[in-house]
Amino acid sequence: MDSALIPEGVKRCSLPKFLLGLAVVGGVLAWGVYAMLLCWIKGLNQSNMNDYYGFALWIWADLAIIALGGGAFFSGLLKYIFGKDELKHIINYAVLIGFICYSSALLILAIDVGQPLRSWFIFWHANVHSMLTEVAFCLSAYFAVLTIEYIPLILENRQIDKVPFFHNLSHNMHGAMAVFAATGAFLSFFHQGSLGGVAGVLFGRPFAYREHILIWPYTFFLFTWSAAAYGPSFTLFITWLTEKITKKKLVKDNVVYLLAKISGWMILTYITAKTIDTLYWMNTTAPAQGFDWSFFYQNNPLYGKWILFTEIVLCGFVPGLILVMKPTRENPSLRVTAFGLGIIGVSLNRWVMVLQTMAVPVLSFDSWAMYMPSWQEVATTILPLAYGVILIMISYRYLPIFPQERELNPITSDEVEAAAVAGDASADEKLQPVEA
């Protein structure tokens, strides 16, 4: 029924099957929307945030998905500025994933601010002494860039592309994309960094506080670095997941190897810098504020030294080394394991910098404050996942996201005939056999 909208030369599941999938994920989405409306209508009392936790699950989710969405800006930087042309075969998907991550982050923020109708205050009544102001500026502007990068993909839909204006618009937007990609890299550098800077400048919280280079604490650079490192791994992981679900090869191995190798080197160099930062904090920064570093990892039910080992060794050095070495990088199982560990690692880092920072007692009569999110917080955090799945489903079905799909999955004459027998009127038009 919708075959006229599906890209030429590719095969998609039947419309009822597609709609059923949408309905299942839509149910999860509806649950999240219900919780979101509760937060907006009844207020932030729907969350379990309190005087200890002004930042909680939402801010962790924000920081984690912004880091994971870093694949878009870094892939764009590599392709358009550093000339890694092979990445053109995966850049569409990186943009889509980045668009989902950043729109999700903005959605979560819209819930977290409590009064979303006053969101514009941050632009008009800006507090120029806050790193979060810079985050808000760059996040909004970068989302505009991602939207601009996503629009040409929509315009390349088979039917939309037939309209000369849209065809030309898509073509011209592609032509100017290097300018937008460079702007996106500039904006990403600062907002990723400032998110780390927020933790690093907290001199009243010795667990998070770090030394500075000029006005920027080390966490500023580590956050940007980690987003550029782990973001491409997330893009590759979602690509692998999409290939498994669709049972198709969508991107050639040489493209995956290249991005995985770059991600591996970025992870390895990042985690080395993170280790040096941690050692300096353990031996100099924390003692200077009257604390032994082990104080931050004891007398509580969750935050032990295991978390440090997991973040730095298991989810840092291990995936970095796997992706850097050719034999392990080219082993599919090990490569995907490395992507998974990397995703856990960067998410854990954001958790530690947000939640553990809040949990540590800061007054002598205080004790550890643990946190359990309300179901509304959980539902609104799962909401972007469902939204992301839906957007990927729709985009994959109707837009030419993977330029190599046709070549990697040629449609045979038998499949064309089978589709015609099934009564698909425009099957002949849609499924064009590819000669080997």
Partner 1 sequence: MFPFSFEWVWDMGHMVFHGGLWYALSVIGMGMTFVVIKTIVDTLQGKGGGHHH
Compute the C-alpha angle 3/4/8, nearest 5°: 85
Closer residue to partner 1 (CB): 179 or 302? 179
- Work out whether 187 is an interface residue with partner 1 (CB under 8 A): yes
Q: Sort residue 372 into left (φ over 0), alpha (ψ -120 to 50) or beta.
A: beta
The distance of closest approach from Cβ of residue 422 to partner 1 in the complex, given in angstroms and rounded to an integer, is: 27
The distance of closest approach from Cβ of residue 167 to partner 1 in the complex, given in angstroms and rounded to an integer, is: 4
Closer residue to partner 1 (CB): 119 or 331? 119
Closer residue to partner 1 (CB): 14 or 140? 140
- Work out whether 154 is an interface residue with partner 1 (CB under 8 A): no
- Work out whether 176 is an interface residue with partner 1 (CB under 8 A): yes
- Work out whether 214 is an interface residue with partner 1 (CB under 8 A): no
Which of helix, strand or coil describes residue 225?
Answer: helix
- Work out whether 247 is an interface residue with partner 1 (CB under 8 A): no
Report the length, in residues, of the chain. Answer: 436
Region near partner 1 per CB under 8 A, out of 68-76, 175-183, 371-379, 381-389: 175-183
* Residue 6 DSSP symbol: S
DSSP letters, 353-392, are IIIIHHHS--STT---------HHHHHHHHHHHHHHHHHH
Closer residue to partner 1 (CB): 135 or 353? 135
CA nearest to 360, candidates 240, 199, 223, 212? 199
Q: Work out the burial of residue 31: count CB atoms within 10 Å of its CB; fewer than 13 is exposed, 13-18 middle, 19 or more buried.
A: middle
User: Which member of 18, 40, 86, 161 binds partner 1 (CB under 8 A)?
Assistant: 161
User: Which member of 16, 41, 83, 165 binds partner 1 (CB under 8 A)?
Assistant: 165
Region near partner 1 per CB under 8 A, out of 31-39, 125-133, 265-273, 306-314: 125-133
Integer Cα distance of 116 and 416 in angstroms: 51
User: Which member of 141, 325, 369, 427 binds partner 1 (CB under 8 A)?
Assistant: 141
User: Which member of 102, 150, 190, 387 binds partner 1 (CB under 8 A)?
Assistant: 190
Distances (CA, A) of 44 to 116, 128, 383, 430: 12, 26, 17, 50
DSSP letters, 43-99, are -GGGS---SS-SS-HHHHHHHHHHHHTHHHHHHHIIIIIS--GGGGGTHHHHHHHHH
- Work out whether 148 is an interface residue with partner 1 (CB under 8 A): yes
Interaction pattern, residues 84-123, with partner 1; x per rule: CB under 8 A: ---------------------------------------x
- Work out whether 73 is an interface residue with partner 1 (CB under 8 A): no
The distance of closest approach from Cβ of residue 161 to partner 1 in the complex, given in angstroms and rounded to an integer, is: 6
Which of helix, strand or coil describes residue 213?
Answer: strand
* Residue ranges in 247-331 assigned as alpha helix (H): 253-280, 286-288, 305-309, 318-324, 326-329
Decide: 6 and 397 in contact? Cβ < 8 Å: yes
Region near partner 1 per CB under 8 A, out of 57-65, 159-167, 229-237, 413-421: 159-167
- Work out whether 134 is an interface residue with partner 1 (CB under 8 A): yes
Residues in contact with partner 1 by CB under 8 A are 123-126, 128-129, 133-134, 137-138, 141, 144-145, 148, 161-165, 167-169, 171-176, 179-180, 183, 186-187, 190
